[in-house]
Structure 1
Amino acid sequence: MPMFKTLFNGYSIKCSPFYENQLAVATAQNFGILGNDRVHIFQLSPNGPISELTAFDTADGVYDVCWSEAHDSLVIATSGDGSVKLYDSSLPPTNNPICSFQEHTWEIHFVDYNTLWTVDRNVSVRNFKEHAYCVYSAAWNSRHADIFASASGDCTTRIWDVREPSSTVILPAHKFEILTCDWNKYDDCIIATTSIDKVPIAVLNRHGYAVRKVRFSPHKASAMTSCSYDMTVCMWDYTVEDALIERYDHHTEFAVGVDMSVLVEGLLASTGWDELVYVWQHGMDPRAP
């Protein structure tokens, strides 16, 4: 299966919604504590290897990355300096980033496209201030363009409607910090959250340490993947008694980024602090040649 070793520690990985052979990866030097960053755009060749199409360097760690759902070459990245940067992979690195937005005063952990920024203005459309601690993740509802969820270190997940003055639902889902959330792609009433008390409908308790990211499958309503500080990537079906479908232990440091391809069913991608990017088909060993 394809593998690529990056220069810095991996933090996030996203499959392109336009091309089944392209990936965006966010990395940070020295585990994001101090140093530079790099946003990679990778391409999978027909015979397997991963090659780098382009890369963008900045002066601070990159913690998350996502693709535009409107333009096939646009990638958005979040940085340790509190900025959100927009890159165009069709332009040379010297012409990037094409936009940089900065209203946050601390590092940004997560970004999802269709956010409340627009590229034709320098300030955000609106701010949402209710959480009492760090917000680690935000995700738009897959069927309602005005609704999103946020996950916070204050142990709550909040549901927001941008047409309302405050959050519409508060979910005290965990006893500890909530690190990430994602909406089910087929049921707009189902949301997954993860915490340092492992990966609630269902509680999935097979990870040994904090679960860093969770992603619902774009192809099967009850399937999802997660990655953890226990260095594993897990695939789940929360509707069955033994929810764990597969566990992959290919990373040798914290696994902090995972995604599932929208265009190729069963195609998984992950990255971690071991500076490795893996792409593999479900049911196969990510390390197999």
Structure 2
Amino acid sequence: MAIWRFDAIGTVWEIETASELDAVRRDGVSALIGRFDRVWSRFRPDSEVHRLGREGGMLASADAAPMLDAYRAASAATHGGVNPLVADSLVALGYDPDYSLVAGEPVPAIAHWTGIVHWDERGATASAPALLDVGALGKGRLVDLVAAELADVPGDVVVDAGGDIRVRGGAVRIGLEHPYDATKAIGVAEVQDAALCASAANRRAWGDGLHHVLDARTGIPVRTWVATWAIGADAMHADAVATALFFDGGPDLAAQWGVEWVRMSTDGRAERSRDCPVELFTARG
């Protein structure tokens, strides 16, 4: 397998293909990622989502409807714990475009976000300034888009964006990194023609117990679960479930979408869905 490694959207990508991708293919992938970033990155002052946060109005993107449809389902399943307007809460705690990492007071997200943000196949419209954060599923969506860009590349293809992985072809064994010790794994997943996405509270963490997975209802980082993994037909829905699993309604959303999962609590307990194709080295539930 040939491996192409590069940095984009704040993470390391690895794309594995049967033979090396030519310059035209690489340029196509890079352009796709750049277009997505210019629309959806809240860390770029020139992005469309940043403009929506300042002015409201229209954001034109074919990705808006699938992502916000999934957000609506995740928000319902978690009783508002997952909410794309959590961006203001993240900024308040210091996870802002300047990465100040200086925490202020938590800011609960507007609960009835669907009353402000509307969408269809053309894009999204905000009736008032609304800063969206698509971090709960945006990287998974982009992994799917990159995989689609490489759909006619012959042989097996693996797209890995910092642990959000889409596999086409032969089965791949993937270790589930222990959130408290990166040299260890709590288990191994076997993924074939599917996606595996992970989320962990020890990543993008700063200050005294602060991290990027917030309960949008309070603006405070979640405390019960420390790491999650989700396996589904596509990366966007697996990514959304990996986020939702930090809340009580996560397993229900996973069942709704046919996504298998594993999660680990802050006290070290691990549990999984009944048919999850994962060998856990230690498990409960």
Above 0.5 in TM-score? no
Please state which structure has a larger fraction of its residues in strand: 1
Please state which structure has a larger fraction of its residues in helix: 2
Q: Greater relative contact order (Cα 8 A, min sep 6): structure 1 or 2?
A: 2
